[in-house]
Amino acid sequence: MVGQALAHYQISALLGAGGMGVVFKAADTRLGREVAIKMLAEDFHRHGDRPLRFEREAKLLASLNHPNIAAIHGLDEDQGVRFLVLELVEGETLADRLSRGAIPLDEALKLARQISDALEAAHEKGIIHRDLKPGNIKIAADGTVKVLDFGVAKAFADEEAVVDARGSRPPSIEATEHGMILGTAAYMAPEQARGTRVDKRVDIWAFGAVLYEIVTGTRAFPGTNPAETIASVLTKEPDFDRAPARVQRLLRKCLEKEPKNRLRDIADAWELVNEPLPVDAAQAKAKRRIPKLPWILVSVLGTLVVVFLSYWPNSPPRSRVTFQIQAPPGSRLPLGTPAVSNDGRVAYTVIDHEGVARIHVSSIESGDTRVLLGTEGASNPVWSPADDALLFAARQRLKRIDLSNGSVRDLIGIGLPGQTAWNQNDDIVVRAEGKLLRVSGDNSTVPISNSSLDIYPAFLQDSRRFLVLATGLNSIQLGSLDSGERTLVIDNVQSAPILAPTPSGKTYLLFQRDSHLFAQEFDEVSGKVLGTTEVLIPYIGMVGQPAVRPAVGVAASGNLAYQNHQVNNRHLTWVDRSGAPVHALSPEVSVYKPRLSPDQSSVVGTRQSGAEDIWVTNLNHPSLRRLTFGDTTENFPVWSSDGSHVAYVRSQRGIYAADADGVGESQLTEIPGLPWSWSGKHLLYSFPEPPLSKLYMLDVTTKEVTQVGSAYGNSFSGVFSPDGNYFAFSSDKSGRHEVYVKPVTPGAEETQVSFGGAMEPRWNGDGTELYFASLDGYLMAAGVELGKPVAAAPTRLFPFGGGGLTAFRNGYDVASDGQRFLIATPGQINASITVVLNWWVMLERGPKR
């Protein structure tokens, strides 16, 4: 956005980004002043009436006129972008200042007085900050304090539950019984952490926590992660003796855990500072310890009782608690499948500053985190039934790590990670070699399904039956280790199944529709769903290849962990035949699954903005134009050979073609296959035809369909040669994915071009060279003489991270001269993990009264 304009604001620099949006520095060309522009986050727009509520809240906040509160100048919209216009506050944040240590008391009190004045002005108008922390406090060069983001947290909350047609309130995973958990853990009042209704006293608590940090240089409630910090907030007292005696009374009154005992009005704070202490600090310390000890014990015992009841199955908990796991400094959390054990641990993947992925295991109870060495390159952890080991995928292998001694065992090769289930009988079922396999203790395998449709198994508690997603049929089906038969459980789903037994004895089936995770009661005896569906998590993340596995882990103990949907648009980069970058396109105009237009002037591809849509990038004058609209997902775009149309698949509805200028659209077939190439009147697409995926050629004029590709195994990724008389495609007929070339003529034989495993073929402009991604991570080139039964030996061009699987997931294309390659690489996602204790309570409590 830098260099672009929104309305009459010229954007000049990026100032920062957070969960609520991205902030830019801009010039107000009408009034001649510098301002801050906050572009609201994508999921802001997707949450029902939130934009309307935010507009109401912004009007109220704009009424605040105080020298210590950063002003809101306006709320505007341009080019479909909603944004706030804020006062531009130069200077460092209080968090920046505290990184250098504690602040001298006199200076600290001057800063604190300005912060309290800002809170007092807001509270007088009934406005609560609810996310006061050092990062939201700016200090100008002259020492003036400006409190930022006043009331924005409330405007972003989902407090006003949407009432559906039945009159019930669908539970949201973020919402507790009485409200939202908002704020940063270290500054969050106990009532906020518990999710109960809040008032201005949460700001007073946060003020106390900030003041403590200002005068001591340490946090009042330290913790290595949010779980540990929240536990500290709920159960521990700060070491008040570290603070100067002059402010200890104020700190104690602000940091009372019980709101009714807390300082009621921030305006009264300075009486507690200015009054002389009745006794010296040493006497006060001695007098306080004796009477307060029983109450500390009562508080700790009370908390232990709450924790005990949360885990005791015969005493269902009264409410749920939500907190987040963030990446360690310098690392990031990729979108994945966090796994939750029954004994209260979460396993997840962290990518460190060197780009190496390893599994981390965090204890919900203690907050301790352990890094598992030997899990380099890992993804998709799965707990053993006894919670003493983990399965994980790494470098196309399924591996096991025993947590007692850290030993790692290599099990079997797998084509796609993450499709693994582990039952109480220690049976492991994994998808490999195009089918579901049962892995025994000696690593031998037995097929339990020959259908290529069955993916992502999930065991029932009897350890014999399991659920699978039947791809292409968009249904969840029930299978068994004892039989190859399948029984329909539920259709019209867009994700793999997750079975979630609960301490109450009920089991829920979790699945995705329209980007949301739904829950429906599941009877394990009959294998049938009961009752109605409820939205459990809005905008859940999806992972896998294909991306149909919700980013959710759940344990029978009643704990759940998830990651929300992350917009992960790829970056497009031109590289030469050595892989050296030639030119990088801006992320604002990049797409993934890119396909160059016949005249090389444009790229069509996919972008995510909630659902996936088709976009066209103009390469001559880099710009982006949207081709499809609506709530459905469109993907796998390809150009017609004359560049006049683009074909793509619309989720569950068929293959469509749109005019390249976006004027019109028509349906080519009702079959929701994946389009690969369009030459003249023929379109190549693949579609799963049980038990295999096959390649078809569609005559777009007569609608006649002909099966092409290999007679054996799976066939997909078909690409016509420039003259339209041949096509290259991928097939696993040999037991491994390879690239073949075949004439369009019916009955002709294919010629193998790759050796050693490869996917995703592409042609140069005259059909003399073919390119593909090897399974061991290189982009390859092979000379081709069409009509000859033998192709030239392929050569390596450059490393292609992730090889064929990455090429399939992200896409790439080749310039007609074969000298440049357009590579799509994913952006850097840092997707925090939300942990929910007792997630199931709201489903079983029923509508609020």
All residues at 6 or more sequence positions from 324 whose CB lies less than 8 Å from its CB, including other chains: 185, 226, 832, 833, 834, 835
Distance of CA 189 to the CA centre of its chain: 27
- As beta bridge partners, residue 95 has none
Label residue 667 exposed, middle or buried (CB < 10 Å: 0-12, 13-18, 19+): exposed
- The residue with tokens 């906020």 is 192
Give the whole-angstrom CA distance, residue 554 versus residue 836. Answer: 9
- Say which amino acid occupies 458: A
Give the whole-angstrom CA distance, residue 343 versus residue 323. Answer: 18
List the structure tokens of 442. Answer: 């000696």
**Terminal C-alpha separation, the chain:** 47
Choosing from 28, 43, 117, 131, the catalytic residue is 131
- As beta bridge partners, residue 428 has 422, 439
3-state secondary structure of 543: strand
- Catalytic (active site) residue 131: yes
**Long-range residue pairs from 688-695, CB within 8 A, at least 24 positions apart, any chain:** 688/452, 688/453, 688/471, 688/472, 690/451, 690/452, 690/453, 691/435, 691/450, 691/451, 691/452, 691/453, 692/434, 692/452, 693/452, 695/729
DSSP-assigned states of every residue in 246-270: HHHHHHHHHT-SSGGGS-S-GGGHH
Q: Are strands 369-372 and 674-679 parallel, antiparallel or unpaired?
A: unpaired
Distance of CA 803 to the CA centre of its chain: 23
Quick one: which of 336, 211, 203, 189 has its CA closest to 264? Answer: 203
Under 8 Å between Cβ of 250 and 262: no
Give the whole-angstrom CA distance, residue 178 versus residue 267. Answer: 28
Give the whole-angstrom CA distance, residue 53 versus residue 697. Answer: 51
Give, to the nearest 10 degrees, the angle between helix 281-311 and helix 245-254: 30
Under 8 Å between Cβ of 365 and 344: yes
All residues at 6 or more sequence positions from 344 whose CB lies less than 8 Å from its CB, including other chains: 311, 363, 364, 365, 557, 559
Give the whole-angstrom CA distance, residue 148 versus residue 132. Answer: 9
3-state DSSP helix/strand/coil percent for the chain, to nearest 5?
20, 40, 45
Quick one: which of 636, 556, 632, 640 has its CA closest to 591? Answer: 636
List the structure tokens of 317. Answer: 């908990």
3-state secondary structure of 203: helix
List the structure tokens of 321. Answer: 């608690």
Give the whole-angstrom CA distance, residue 714 versus residue 622. Answer: 38
**Long-range residue pairs from 209-212, CB within 8 A, at least 24 positions apart, any chain:** 209/254, 209/255, 210/94, 210/112, 210/115, 210/132, 210/133, 210/134, 210/137, 211/108, 211/112, 211/247, 211/250, 211/251, 211/254, 212/238, 212/243, 212/251, 212/255
Q: How many residues does the chain have?
A: 849
Under 8 Å between Cβ of 559 and 364: yes
3-state secondary structure of 283: helix
**Active-site residue set:** 131
